[in-house]
Structure 1
Amino acid sequence: MFRGVFGTGLLVRAVHTVLTWGVTAMLFLHDTDLYHQENNWIYLQPLIFVLSVMCSVALYFGVSLMDPGYVHSDIDEKSFPTTEDQEMISQTSNTVRMRRCGYCFLKQPMRARHCKSCQRCVRRYDHHCPWIENCVGENNHCLFMLYLTVQLLVLFWAFSLAWSGFQSETSWSGWLRVNIFLLLAFILISIFTMVVCLLLVSQLYLIACNTTTWEFMSHHRIPYLKQCDSDTNPFDRGVVRNLWSFFCTGGTVAWDQIYFRATYNTV
């Protein structure tokens, strides 16, 4: 289930860990609300904050090391449409073919894509995230969303704490000398807050539409989407069902059956 810890993403994960705990240390060492509560023997808020950071780091390593949904062998018969779907397939199979990957030579399930960075085919491929040094796919996409949510909450909290720690001085040079390290931490927190917020909002929109980042960006180049209108998504079953299917159900989905049914119903 998990990839080797000492893979190509070791440096990225090390940088993430160092930045996370480095910024956390800055918030404790400077004159922030955490620092005041710790000095006053009030440990509830500092403890909750540390536990939140630990939870965020644990989710990061989980989504980073987890198998995103690699295609390990040629797809089995269960992923193909059943006998009752043969009439639908006969009307659409002449335009949509199951393709064999040109890199790993495996038959790709519908919505799978070969990732050149991971050198593997990934089911329901969304994108390759360089920050986790792993693909986001069918197996780890939900965990990826949980990680983004927790990370954003921690960043908002850290933003507030960093802001509370700035000390006023009579001169700009004096202020910079006193607050330089906290200012660097504040800039990092602000950047990551904006990035994670934008990523979380965009991912929620795509999930509500039951489409992936790859499908959204390359609609005109994907064989099973080229024949559809640019504003038509054969996998869209409504916002509520899309969200419920993503967050509340698990396992491998036979997307070709959903696709053929949707295509048949629109003929």
Structure 2
Amino acid sequence: MAETPSSQHLTRAFEDSEQELKNNLPPWSEADFKQRLLTVFLYIAIYLPVVVLLGLVIGGYIIYLIFYIYPLVGDTDDRPELYYWHSDSEKTNAETRGWIFFTLVTWCIFWILVSHYRALKTDPGQIPREREWDIPDDENDESSSESVVLIEKRKDGSIRTCARCTMRKPDRTHHCKQCERCNLKMDHHCNWVANCVGYFNYKYFFLIVFYGAVALAIFISTFWETVVVVLNDSESSAALCFFVVLCYSLILMLGIAVIGFCIFHIRLMIQNYTTIEYCEKKKQKVQEYKVSPFDKGAWNNLKEALGKNWYWWLVPFNYRDPDEKGLHFGRK
């Protein structure tokens, strides 16, 4: 979703203020009370979205267990009479259905949490401090541009460089103001994981979105039964009805957004675009990005994004081999 000019200015101003604050704060051991307070505030601002996301995941899971799964599998006599069954066979079917959905949702939540941890803790990849990527002092330097074969170039045909990092940029590398560094195959900076999403942790980010979309799809397609039961039960209080309807409405809106976001990223992987390339190049109708210059066919594009071994794609392990550096990307 493209940002408006005003939101772009606001985001840029926040990023600049955050970076300026980081640069002006001394180490914790040398800081006075005011500086320590600012440091705490800074870390709260950075990690608040992470806490909110974890709260939504765990809170939604608990609500689903209490209001949908437990009435199906729990041995209790105080459930509403219209609760899904009127015979022993219907009750057995309901219990089976409940255990199946419990297993599926728990599986998704587990991998969301593991993938979130991996995305947060994994370095997305940075330009190596090697002579090959240093900006040469003059044209006769042996580390000159001829020694680096890259697809992406500046408009004048020269190799892209980063003024802040004073390094040459490998293909698909971009500078992140919030991280204050260049990241390999940078997709975007994600505040929900307090990290950039790049070459070495994109799979973990995608798995958060993928399993989130699956869990939300299950929630949306099953929890409506609880809404119907609660609204039709004469013993349900107004507060309970409001709470259940509010939860389902919020999850429905969140589910539509996350499922759409998941489909968007699957499309990006198949076509071999990053979010930055899609928004800044393809969407802006840059001729060279009408088709991704890194496109190697759908199957190979997926292998590049999620790892060489397809049977590991849906678990946040066995991602990059030691020989994969994220510095060069071939064509089809």
TM interval, short-chain normalised: 0.7 to 0.9
2:64 equivalent to 1:27: yes
Specify the alignment match of 1:73 in structure 2. Answer: 129
Specify the alignment match of 1:183 in structure 2. Answer: 245
Specify the alignment match of 1:82 in structure 2. Answer: none
Specify the alignment match of 1:60 in structure 2. Answer: 116
Q: Secondary structure at the match of 1:159?
A: helix
Report the alpha carbon displacement of residue 152 of structure 1 after superposing the two structures with TM: 1.2
Report the alpha carbon displacement of residue 102 of structure 1 after superposing the two structures with TM: 2.0
Count matched residues: 239
Q: Secondary structure at the match of 2:293?
A: coil
Specify the alignment match of 1:140 in structure 2. Answer: 201
Contact 2:125-2:184 within 8 A present in 1 as well: yes
CA RMSD in angstroms comes to: 3.6
Contact 2:184-2:327 within 8 A present in 1 as well: no
Cα shift readout 1:198-231 (whole Å, capped 9, x = no counterpart): 1111111111111211112222899xx96x5452
Cα distance in 2, alignment partners of residues 51 and 229 from structure 1 = 42
Cα distance in 2, alignment partners of residues 88 and 12 from structure 1 = 39
Q: Secondary structure at the match of 2:264?
A: helix
Specify the alignment match of 1:122 in structure 2. Answer: 183
Report the alpha carbon displacement of residue 105 of structure 1 after superposing the two structures with TM: 2.3
Contact 2:187-2:276 within 8 A present in 1 as well: yes
Specify the alignment match of 1:192 in structure 2. Answer: 254
Q: Which has the larger radius of gyration?
A: 2
Cα distance in 2, alignment partners of residues 156 and 19 from structure 1 = 15
2:204 equivalent to 1:168: no
Q: Secondary structure at the match of 2:182?
A: strand
Segments of 5+ residues of structure 1 without an aligned counterpart are 1-5, 78-85, 263-267
- Identical-pair percentage: 21
Cα shift readout 1:68-119 (whole Å, capped 9, x = no counterpart): 1233535747xxxxxxxx79969x9894333331223232212100011222
Cα distance in 2, alignment partners of residues 63 and 27 from structure 1 = 26
Report the alpha carbon displacement of residue 239 of structure 1 after superposing the two structures with TM: 2.0
Give runs of aligned pairs for residues 228-239 of structure 1, distance below 5 A: 228-239=287-298
Contact 1:75-1:109 within 8 A present in 2 as well: no
Q: Secondary structure at the match of 1:205?
A: helix
Cα shift readout 1:172-194 (whole Å, capped 9, x = no counterpart): xx774332222222123212211
Report the alpha carbon displacement of residue 123 of structure 1 after superposing the two structures with TM: 0.4
TM-score using structure 2 length: 0.61
Cα distance in 2, alignment partners of residues 164 and 221 from structure 1 = 41
TM-score using structure 1 length: 0.74
Contact 2:69-2:99 within 8 A present in 1 as well: no
